[in-house]
């Protein structure tokens, strides 16, 4: 079965550094998402992306965050200047054509640790 | 309670028994979805039930939805050790593109 792949699986960075988390959604999917899960807490929505633009974002997704689909296959999340509270598991997800009218396919996540 | 709260928070049962998890939510929803998460891994979609549906089955899974009570339940019958995981409900509202996840139920199946 097709999978959403995320790299790296673990990322350690110093506070204030920029990180880029990478995702390859399933090839014929049209909707892309980033979610995060701080240890022991709920999975939280960050941003949705459709037709090469952000369709919705949460309050968490401030100016420090950006997303990009640079080449038609990759979908990246950039955190410009990381903070300690950005430490979390970041999940990429995609869905075929109906957004949240359909199920989402999640990747295995990138565990980001900000020191 | 917050949108998408599951209970119980943790559940331990013997292999072969049935497991029931409940989810409550606050808004008017388009659909409600259940996901499983094995420790340290991604979320796997289990089942989606739309707001005009009351019950849905998939293999050993049975989901009910009561929109008047804003609640849903997930029943796993004849549990197996491999069912050990965290289970989350997630709601999709009309007119937006996000899923709102609940707090999750950690299910442990004792062999």
Q: Which domains does chain A have, with CATH numbers?
A: 5-96 (2.60.40.10)
Task: Give the pLDDT of residue B101.
Answer: 93
Q: How many helices (H) and strands (E) does chain B have?
A: 0, 11
Q: Which of B50, B98, B106 to mutate to test the interface with A (most CBs of A within 10 A)?
A: B98
- Note whether B33 contacts A: Cβ–Cβ < 8 A: yes
User: How much is the pLDDT for A67?
Assistant: 97
What torsion do the CA atoms of A14, A69, A32, A112 make, to the nearest 10 degrees?
Answer: -10
Contact A100 B31 (CB under 8 A): yes
Mean pLDDT by 10 residues, chain A (115 residues): 92 97 94 94 94 93 94 93 97 88 93 97
Q: What is the pLDDT of residue B41?
A: 83
Phi, psi angle pair for A82, to nearest 5°: -70, 150
The helix (run of H) or strand (run of E) holding residue A48 is strand A43-50
How is domain B5-110 classified at the CATH fold level? Immunoglobulin-like (2.60.40)
pLDDT of residue B107: 96
Q: Which residues of chain B have pLDDT under 50?
A: 1-2
Distances (CA, A) of B20 to A58, B24, B84, B105: 31, 14, 13, 10
């Amino acid at each position: 079965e097709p999978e959403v792949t995320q790299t790296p699986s673990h990322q350690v960075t110093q506070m204030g550094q920029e990180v880029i988390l990478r995702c390859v959604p399933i090839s014929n999917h049209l909707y892309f998402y980033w979610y995060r899960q701080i240890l022991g807490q709920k999975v939280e929505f960050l941003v949705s992306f459709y037709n090469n633009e952000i369709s919705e974002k949460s309050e968490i997704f401030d100016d420090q965050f950006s997303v990009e689909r640079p080449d038609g296959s990759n979908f990246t999340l950039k955190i410009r200047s990381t903070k300690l509270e950005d430490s979390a598991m970041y999940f990429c997800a995609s869905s075929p054509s109906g957004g949240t009218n359909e199920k989402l396919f999640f990747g295995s996540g990138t565990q980001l640790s900000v020191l | 309670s917050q949108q998408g709260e599951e209970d119980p928070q943790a559940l331990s049962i013997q292999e072969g028994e049935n497991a029931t998890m409940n989810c409550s939510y606050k808004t008017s929803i388009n659909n409600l979805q259940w996901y499983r998460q094995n420790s340290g891994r991604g979320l796997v979609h289990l089942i989606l039930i739309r707001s005009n549906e009351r019950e849905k089955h998939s293999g050993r899974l049975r989901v009910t939805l009561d929109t008047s009570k804003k609640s849903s339940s997930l029943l796993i019958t004849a549990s197996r050790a491999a069912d050990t995981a965290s289970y989350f409900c997630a709601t999709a509202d009309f007119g937006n593109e996000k899923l709102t996840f609940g707090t999750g139920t950690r299910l442990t199946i004792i062999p």
